[in-house]
Structure 1
Amino acid sequence: MAIARMRSVVVDCPDPKRLADFYSALLGWEITSVEDDWVVVTNGQPGRLCFQLAEDHQAPDWPDPDKPQQFHLDVTVDDLDEAETAVLALGAVKHAHQPSEDGSFRVYLDPAGHPFCLCVD
């Protein structure tokens, strides 16, 4: 029996609304709550992404271990090239380090510098 149920994944960032807009567009989820220091994105199912103001946020510099990833999201897409074009238009940046040898995923940085991966099954 579980002790708890997942409520939120909370991401520290310098601009919660901007990052929520990015992930809302990426995932097709709705922004359901906006405060100055806290924005929630959800698809109506249990679990949600929350973006919390961290005025002193320092973006990771992965794969440098001195400034590790902190966290990252893997999202599944049908077409990597098509998805890449879309996330770049939203403000993502393709990371210089692309460790996938088989082409099954690509690494990007969201507008706050957090890494995320576009993956194909």
Structure 2
Amino acid sequence: MALVTAAVVVLDCAEPEKLAYFYRQLLDGEPGDTSTGHVEVRRADGIRIAFRRDGVSTPASWPRPENSLQSHLVFLVDDMDEAERRVVGLGGLPTETRDPTGPYEERGYSDPAGHPFTLRPALPTAG
């Protein structure tokens, strides 16, 4: 039996309900467990992310060098352009885009609360 059965990333933010809505729409998720005091989003495939209220939360300044990147999320997507339209339509902001295409293309964004994340193309599975 595995000692750890699940992991949940928890992001601090000033307005967890609003940020949960952003990620619920981005991930096609559903509201999750709130018994811990966090606002959670979960998907049927087991992906879970939660948000904790922090009244003094400030956005990260990444990718600016004066504030190092402590952590960020990476989402693998089938269609980079469609994913970008969804992110921006939900209130996310582009922070870094790269011109080259191919399996190493990635685009950086911040969510409405300023947390950094990256979109990368999902690589096709062999078979």
Q: TM-score, length-normalised on structure 1?
A: 0.83
Match of 2:12 in 1: 12
Q: Deviations over 1:61-117 (max 9, x none)?
A: 01234433332111111111111111101000011x33x463411001100101111
Give 1:57 deviation, angstroms: 0.5
CA distance in 1, matches of 2:24, 2:113: 15
Alignment of 1:5-84 (within 5 A): 5-33=5-33, 38-46=38-46, 48-84=48-84
Local SS of the residue matching 2:100 = coil
Large movers: runs of 4+ above 6 Å: none
Q: Deviations over 1:6-54 (max 9, x none)?
A: 331111111101110011111111012458x620111145452110011
CA distance in 2, matches of 1:101, 1:2: 42
Match of 2:100 in 1: 102
CA distance in 1, matches of 2:69, 2:6: 21
Unaligned runs of 5+ in 2: none
Unaligned runs of 5+ in 1: none
Q: How many residues end up aligned between the 2 structures?
A: 118
